[in-house]
A and B are shown apart, each in its own frame.
Chain A
């Protein structure tokens, strides 16, 4: 396997809920709770889960758009932040981190400055990072070409003059302007129509090859994640419940939540419509998650142990497939913590 580009260990973010007359705390949203995973150089890691599972917060924590409560992020061997850890002796500052790790958001309109033309938006980053104005502008034109927009008509257009698909191409070009190594795509094609989204997915595949990129691809669309990812991580209420190779995970999901999620996908076959919903009710509120395993309140196979103990993400095989479930049989045939 290729070397680790990004290492995330015990990343945690709890948001206090302020309320009442005196602004007293009414509880804590455990948005991301001790999340650990690796991203390997050159791969695409898909992150899936339903609203409130913490997938977008995770992305924002990775580029420090939100400051984590605890946990450690290592980029290419260097700890993010000031304090080096025991195993990593170097640190990487935010400025350098954000040069190497860029992000594309879902809302193509609100993520562009309405007063900057397409070329100016793309050139802004390189300019701030010390590139001469003319060179930055030239770079913007190259990138417009790379994302399939002719600089002639498009360089001087403003966001409101562009379609959603075109705006998202500008956002992608801007993300690539600083020659990053890792790009976080947070629902980057979710707001686009299917026919336009397919074009952007093809573009992302081309750019990845051309610029040797690594992607973290966050989406609620399970079909799209299967198409683009090498590995997939499934989150539920701020926790990683399963991670593994995309085909293994889609063909043989182990965690009961992953199974439910995949079987809730609408059937594409009119003669095999879904007959029963795999789960009832909505995902519980992340303010007061259930004790032990957070999925146990909706889980068809939950037992006593699931309320008592929180299941750890444990290796299921030697190929990097890991599951956080007390009830999942290990390949040795033994049940964990029965």
Chain B
């Protein structure tokens, strides 16, 4: 393990971070197996900052996000570490205080609006209910806000759409409605779990641009989880590349994309086809590790072409290749 978790994070910002995570670990235990989904994630998110978490299936990116908002099933998931959202320890919240916290301080949007929205209530009723529950205002006032919100997310003829059911809307419109619902109580932190993945490319870019504008106008901090390098480049100020439940590289988007300092990031960028036609893709050999039995050292070592003896011994600590750019690779440490 690295000597001190606190030492290896970026120097404290001028203002306190809105999200502060230290050594987050999530395991899912059942009778015959234990899956190590998140294995020591630490980061700070400043107010108004957009962090992109980039990773493939099973890297732990969605589990990390769900841990931040208390959505993991308590019976199966064991959460360790320190999660502070707006100064409060979220892991100790439950019941009504947790419900009060969600929506007002932190909200989440999902990949599938059809399953995130309630199919038997109109869009207007769902937004209204949320506002009344959290702010105790009248239904009339809440309805007026709902109309403003649909306008804010650029849904055409918003007054008519308030009375629409989710199934009556197209995929892009449903995604906008879900964003409106998430923003209904003006959260300062928005978690986004692949919200553009299920959309067509011409609709995807509309939603990305909308989220970028809302983030800027409302000054929200955003954590955006995606498997798509292009999408993360479009939205994130800072990137965290995740592999086998760890942040293997973090840094400003531009630095990570232009000068990746972890072999996995390098491989992921190579696998994202931008090379000339007819050439072979520099694919990463092998497959991600079994999260039930992680290797003791670097989880990427079995697929890494630079791997050495010392990679297999211990999990590499985080090295700073620049003040704000880190990598968990022994090669960067010399």
Contacts and interface: CB of A to CB of B under 8 A. Distances in A.
A282 B173 contact: yes
A265 B201 contact: yes
Interface in A141-188: 163, 165
B201 A220 contact: yes
Interface in B165-198: 170-173
Nearest to B200: A50
Nearest to B275: A227
A202 interface: yes
Interface stretch (A7-15, A58-66, A190-198): A190-198
A194 B269 CA distance: 9
Contacts of A252: none
B39 to A, nearest CB: 19
B203 A282 contact: yes
Nearest to A269: B233
A20 interface: no
Contacts of B270: 198
Interface stretch (B105-113, B131-139, B224-232, B318-326): B224-232
Given A195-B56, A270-B257, A273-B233, A264 B281 contact: no
B210 to A, nearest CB: 9
A287 interface: no
A223 B281 CA distance: 12
Contact of B233 (A227, A260, A267): A267
Given A193-B57, A222-B201, A266-B205, A199 B233 contact: no
A259 to B, nearest CB: 11
B268 A195 contact: yes
A338 interface: no
B271 interface: yes
B122 interface: no
B35 interface: no
A131 interface: no
A50 B198 CA distance: 11
Given A194-B268, A226-B273, A277 B209 contact: yes
A246 B278 CA distance: 12
Given A50-B202, A222-B201, A264-B201, A194 B209 contact: no
A228 B273 CA distance: 10
B271 A195 contact: yes
Contacts, number: 120
A205 interface: yes
A193 B277 contact: no
Interface in B254-292: 254, 257-258, 267-268, 270-275, 277, 280-285, 287-288
Contacts of B268: 194-195
Interface string A25-63: 000000000000000000000000011000000000000
Given A50-B200, A224-B273, A195 B173 contact: no
Nearest to A225: B273
A227 B273 contact: yes
Contacts of B173: 282
B254 A271 contact: yes
A86 interface: no
A270 B206 CA distance: 18
Contacts of A260: 202
B211 interface: no
Given A220-B201, A277-B206, A194 B56 contact: yes
Contact of B230 (A228, A267, A281): A267
B209 A274 contact: yes
B233 A51 contact: no
B272 A220 contact: no
A280 B206 contact: yes
Contacts of B202: 50, 260-261, 264, 277-279, 283
B89 interface: no
Given A165-B287, A198-B284, A205-B280, A266 B230 contact: yes
A274 B254 contact: no
A202 B275 CA distance: 13
Nearest to B230: A266
A276 B209 contact: yes
B118 interface: no
A246 B277 contact: yes
Given A227-B277, A268-B230, 13 more contacts: A50-B201, A165-B287, A195-B56, A198-B283, A261-B201, A261-B202, A268-B229, A268-B257, A269-B233, A269-B257, A270-B254, A279-B206, A282-B200
Interface of A: 50-51, 163, 165, 193-199, 201-202, 205, 220, 222-224, 226-229, 246-247, 260-261, 264-271, 273-274, 276-283
Minimum-distance CB pairs A-B, first 9: A266-B230, A198-B283, A198-B271, A50-B200, A193-B56, A282-B170, A195-B284, A198-B281, A270-B254
